[in-house]
Amino acid sequence: MSRALFAGVLLVLAGCASPPALQPQVTQDLLPLLQQQGYAIDVDTSIERLAQARVPGDAQAMLAGGQGASEAGRIGGQAGVAGPGAGVAGALIGSLLVAQINASRIQAETDRQAADLVAPLRQAIAAQGLDFWFTQTLQAELAAGDLGAAQPESPYRLRFEPQAIFGDELDRLHLVTEISLLFGHEVLYRGRIEVIDAAPWPLDSTANLGLQPWLANDAAAYRQVLHGGLREMLQVLLLDMQTGHFAASNSSETTLRYQLGGGRFVERGRLLAQTPERSLFMDMRGWLKSVPLQAAR
């Protein structure tokens, strides 16, 4: 393979690469620091971030299969016309380009389908100013907790980037929050906390399928579950800061199994804490996850 071709392949691979995953970080005992020095908060939120959905995996597979076959056939044909020597190189680069183009198209289409799915909910919560409510509720919960109230200005800035995402069957809600504490440009804390809650109605109630029950009474159930997830997220954040990202935990890696809504889940991680209400564990990337009413085992 020539140097030019090798460089071209590297460029294509770089274009296909995913952004780096968040790496958890705790640099010092932060709770006394924030209690003594105070802190300000930034909340990156919007109606779109607070009402998201996932397109079911089978729908994504159908999209991937159709678009992938079409692109592969077109680019493969072009490589054949170029001749046998260039054909091998063209097929290699072409297959990488197919992967990149196909992934972008599938992502755009699944994003559109997901937005259409939650459009009625976004309309309902926008009318209530749920994004403003989330920020105000976050401030109130912080003020009532061990960190104390946030200040209007401080060199210590605690930044929250929340996303609320439905499970495939709209029977559970995932509040995923990336959090960082900055002192100027220095990162003192970085973490990702996912709080999962099942829908607050019986799983066998066929009258409560889909989005409609979340819309009832001005989306009261949605706001209730979101508030509970926010409160749990702050409790996990406080525990993460106090323990230095659970540095003293001696729990070993294991297979965790749990059920939420109509779904059953299996993943690798470390079980950190359990109460009668929730299980807290850390996945293989160091991300924290709080799951309700299920003994991960």
For residue range 267-283, what is the model confidence (pLDDT) as tens digits? 899 999 888 889 999 99
User: What's this model's pTM, rounded to 2 decimal places?
Assistant: 0.80
Q: What is the pLDDT of residues 50-76, one digit of tens each?
A: 999 987 654 444 445 555 545 545 555
Residues 187-227 pLDDT 10s: 999 999 999 998 887 766 555 568 999 999 999 999 999 99
Please give the average per-residue pLDDT across 139-150, as a whole number.
96
Which domains, ranges and CATH numbers included, belong to the chain? Answer: 20-54+117-292 (3.40.50)
**Residue 153 pLDDT more than 50?**
yes
> Which band of pLDDT confidence, cut at 50, 70 and 90, is reported for residue 90?
low
The whole-number pLDDT of residue 15 equals 55
pLDDT at 87: 62
In this structure, of 2-16, 92-106, 184-198, 201-215, the range with the lowest mean pLDDT score is 2-16
pLDDT at 84: 55
Mean pLDDT score, 16-24: 72
C-alpha pair distances (Å), 16 with each of 100, 101, 219:
5, 9, 39
Higher pLDDT: 180 or 21? It is 180
